[in-house]
Structure 1
Amino acid sequence: MNKTLLPITLLALLCSAQAQAAEHVDLLVRDATVVDVVSGELRPHRTIVVRDGRIVTIVDARKARQYEATRTVDAKGKYAIPGLWDMHVHFGGGEALIEENRNLLPLYLAHGITAVRDAAGDLSPSVFEWRAKTASGELLGPTIFTSGPKIEGPKSIWPGDLEIGSRQELEGALDQLQGWKVDFVKITDNTLSPELFLAAVQAAGKRGLKTSAHVPYPLTLDEVSSAGLDSIEHIDYAFKAGSPQEKSLGEAIGRGEISSRDAWTQWEATFDVGRAKSAYARLAQRGTAITPTLNGSQVVAYLDQDDHRDDAYLKYIGPGLQATYTWRVERAAKDDAEAIRRRHERFEKSASLLPLLQQSGVTILAGTDAGFLNSYNYPGIGLHQELGLLVRYGLTPLQALQAATINGARFLGHDDTYGTLEAGKAADLVLLDADPLRDIAATRRIDTVVLKGQPFDRTRLDAMLADVAARVAAQQAASKQP
């Protein structure tokens, strides 16, 4: 054999052997800038290796040659973040709106939201079905974590609640919820007594169930946190903890001696930052998180400035769901100039608590309160609006991103599977055209979403949106027929 051909032959054999030895996987996302949402570090030129819906490893370009894939996505340097989580959504409005609620699932996915926490409504049987079908891949949509029906007192104004009036009925309600394998327990205070509220938090905790709640006015944040409450829904509940009159005015509201609006005026007048930070530090120490839900509150607070009736996004919201917006809109329309001013002020005061909560170590969960009843608070785009508000009112882009990724996964005890991009975790990720750590608005600039290892490029995401718009148009046409 010609000696000059020998090295070339050996090299060819070596390359062939290496090619044969390449490990086969399902998906390679090449040349991504991976965003570490824990440290805030950027890791450029990485390849994300995926098999069976999980991340096998994340490697540099040289090591990526060890893998060949059925599908490849060329990220071209785009920013890879974990799939986003909306930690407070609702499905409801009655059985007639089941299809309209199901249409919301692709809206979440098309906006990079790969998991949602359903915080109760009146469609729990359907939500349980969707939870199973999205988990198996039979239904396209985000992973669903749900409370099922929430716990309330007798004659609750909210449909679909589990109503209890005694400790025996409480235990029966918890038995039902555990039978449905709920992911957490939601408790509200419309007609539930403060005593049964605390008992519900404690009893659920003893069963190993996470709890999420509105805070009854007669109870302090310390009291509900000491009882073991895991998350407070809506930031305005945190405001009264800054006042020395938190307990006395709350109890006066409970006795019907003062309105919550008048109590708020006094809480504002006596608010002390030091007192608030001490209370929030105790929340952090006990592990009580807060879901601010700024977006829904901001929309309603400023309906006088933007009535949202011409929002382009309404083309994705069914006519029945839009009709549920009416009650909040009509209630806000009755406010006079002074009431509108106080409405604005209450929102601004509540939102201003964000830096105090973050500095005190309280876990912030990004949630929208989107769904039925909550006017113009839209599933999908609403989370990006929420992230923008979190930053506007004091969080860094990284902290806001954490609130919508790792914090939610940790809260629900699933951070071994979700929340960050690393080996062994679910292949739920979003490719962005810009760096979200520099500008949180970059989360809106979505190029590709990967859900359970399946990539959806911009064309497919746009097709999802177009399909929802077409369904809604058909529903609107049907609703106008005699």
Structure 2
Amino acid sequence: MFSLYALAQQAPSIDLIISNCKVINMADGSITQGQSVAIKNGKIIDVHSDKYIKNKYQAAQYIQAEGRYVMPGLWDMHMHFGGGDSTLHENKNFLALYLAHGVTSIRDMAADISKSVVKWRDEINNDQLTGPRIFTSGPKLEGYKPIWKGVLQVGTPEEVESALDSLQKLNVDFVKITENTLKPDIYLYALKAVKARGLRSSAHIPSSLTLNEVIDAGLNSVEHLGYAYNAGIPKAATASKASQFNAEYAKQQYRYMANHHVFITPTLLGSYIISHLDEDSHTNDAYLKYIGRGIKNTYSWRVDRAKNISAEASKQRHENYDNVSKILPLLQSEGVKIMAGTDAGYLNSFVYPGIGIHQELALMVKAGLSPLQALQASVVNSPAFLGLTEYGSVAKDKRADLILLDQNPIENIEATQKIHSVIVKGVVFDRRQLDKFLKDVADQNVSGL
């Protein structure tokens, strides 16, 4: 009796044990049953059999998983906070929507409320605000008088350097560059300058430059699949885009991407929704109750342009989406690291924060990836892009950002929506709390708050 008591007294005290769970191996999709996950100070300190963990640790909190599946929390690697200061509260509500849908990390791809986003990021990191971890670019680099709001307008090398100085003062996590009015020579200079400062870059690709040229200048990730599709069209081609695309030529370009460790975020969902508005206007989406009036108002510019096109133009949009999405397995087979991102947030019509990542994963699978490959795009490749090694698996020394699922997402990607609990920094949010996040956001929108 004494020895058993002494052993119990010596058992390390930890914060949380998740017992009787099935751990998903994110490298190969295998499942290990009868496991317990031990968590302390926001980190996983042990993953072992139920009996081993029970005998080794004492926890302040226990979750009996009852055979449910545990995997790393989801990442949305392309979203946008924005819409001006009048929408700050609506943007801040995105944090609850993401957590309610098992998204524990997000990458903000620039807009016009960057100072507030940086503030939220720092508050979350300092445990002063509840939400997914935020990685942000701050304002993006563009040319003079672009269509985008809240950008850093640059047209000379000196202006590029000054803009990067300001971004580093904001302590941004990476730099975004787009090509609406940015001159090609300054675009290339900006990529080189970002690399010289030891920062990461994400960008659109100007039509006047080749994929190899922007990679050689230092690009780290391509945003939107259409740019990779265009890269598969030899410059000498003159026919329609669909007939120009050359799979063998594209493979050469994609291998160059892979060899230079250039990632891509396809953002299938935004393209799919806009290209299929003739089939679904989304005006009756139940999820709209979670989106504030100011954010909804930013949807109109894309909707108005898309809804009045001809039947023939709609058909062409469908075909274009199909042609572009089909290259996803080609990128995967050539070794390009694909990241999962939605383009959710402000401006991009009916691409919703939270639920959007589940829809994106489903579209990836529909385009030809396996469920495991789609999940890896979200939870493995995403932190790898940022050079973060403490994410990507349920294993010792990894961050305790996890989701507990009722069903196996390796068998059916839609199982990512069957969320029992979300764990962020070792803090548990059960189904009741997650539903309350959603209800509180909906109630605030009804009240006009």
TM-score per shorter chain, which class?
A: over 0.9
Distance 2:244 2:43 in 1: 52
TM-score, length basis structure 2:
0.98
Q: Please state how far the C-alpha of 1:269 moved relative to its aligned partner.
A: 1.6
The one-letter code sitting in structure 2 at the alignment partner of 1:443 is T
Distance 2:113 2:316 in 1: 34
CA contact (8 A) 1:243 1:268 kept: no
Distance 1:63 1:453 in 2: 20
Q: Does 1:99 align with 2:89?
A: yes
Partner residue of 2:5? Answer: 16
1:305-454 alignment to 2 at 5 Å? 305-415=279-389, 417-454=390-427
Q: Does 1:474 align with 2:431?
A: no
Q: Please state how far the C-alpha of 1:322 moved relative to its aligned partner.
A: 0.6
Q: Does 1:144 align with 2:137?
A: no
Q: Does 1:25 align with 2:14?
A: yes
1:120 paired residue among 110, 124, 130: 110
CA displacement 1:254-310 (0-9 Å, x = unmatched): xxxxxxxxx8x6232222111111111111111111100001110000000000000
Distance 1:292 1:414 in 2: 21
Distance 2:429 2:442 in 1: 18
Q: Does 1:289 align with 2:253?
A: no
CA contact (8 A) 1:211 1:231 kept: yes
1:101-250 alignment to 2 at 5 Å? 101-245=91-235
Percentage of matched positions with identical amino acids: 48
2:49 paired residue among 60, 74, 85: 60
**Count of residue pairs the alignment pairs up:** 448
CA displacement 1:422-479 (0-9 Å, x = unmatched): 111211000000111111111000000000000011011001111111111111xx7x
Q: Please state how far the C-alpha of 1:13 moved relative to its aligned partner.
A: 2.2
CA displacement 1:31-87 (0-9 Å, x = unmatched): 111111123221111111111111111111221121111111111111001011000
CA displacement 1:394-438 (0-9 Å, x = unmatched): 1011100000101001000112x2221111121100000011111
Q: Please state how far the C-alpha of 1:223 moved relative to its aligned partner.
A: 1.2
Q: Which one has the largest radius of gyration?
A: 1
SS at match of 1:404: helix
Deviating more after overlay: 195-204 vs 334-343: 334-343
SS at match of 2:162: helix
Partner residue of 1:463? Answer: 436
Distance 1:243 1:126 in 2: 41
The one-letter code sitting in structure 2 at the alignment partner of 1:188 is T
Q: Please state how far the C-alpha of 1:18 moved relative to its aligned partner.
A: 1.8
Deviating more after overlay: 61-70 vs 371-380: 61-70
Partner residue of 2:24? Answer: 35
Structure 1 residue runs of 5 or longer lacking an equivalent are 1-11, 250-262
CA contact (8 A) 1:49 1:56 kept: yes
Partner residue of 1:260? Answer: none
Q: Does 1:273 align with 2:247?
A: yes
TM-score, length basis structure 1:
0.91
CA contact (8 A) 1:120 1:186 kept: yes
The one-letter code sitting in structure 2 at the alignment partner of 1:387 is L
Distance 1:293 1:270 in 2: 23
SS at match of 1:384: helix
1:64-83 alignment to 2 at 5 Å? 64=53, 65-83=55-73
Deviating more after overlay: 219-228 vs 435-444: 219-228
Distance 1:123 1:109 in 2: 21
Distance 1:244 1:184 in 2: 31
Q: Please state how far the C-alpha of 1:108 moved relative to its aligned partner.
A: 0.2
Distance 1:141 1:63 in 2: 33
The one-letter code sitting in structure 2 at the alignment partner of 1:392 is K
RMSD: 1.1
The one-letter code sitting in structure 2 at the alignment partner of 1:460 is Q
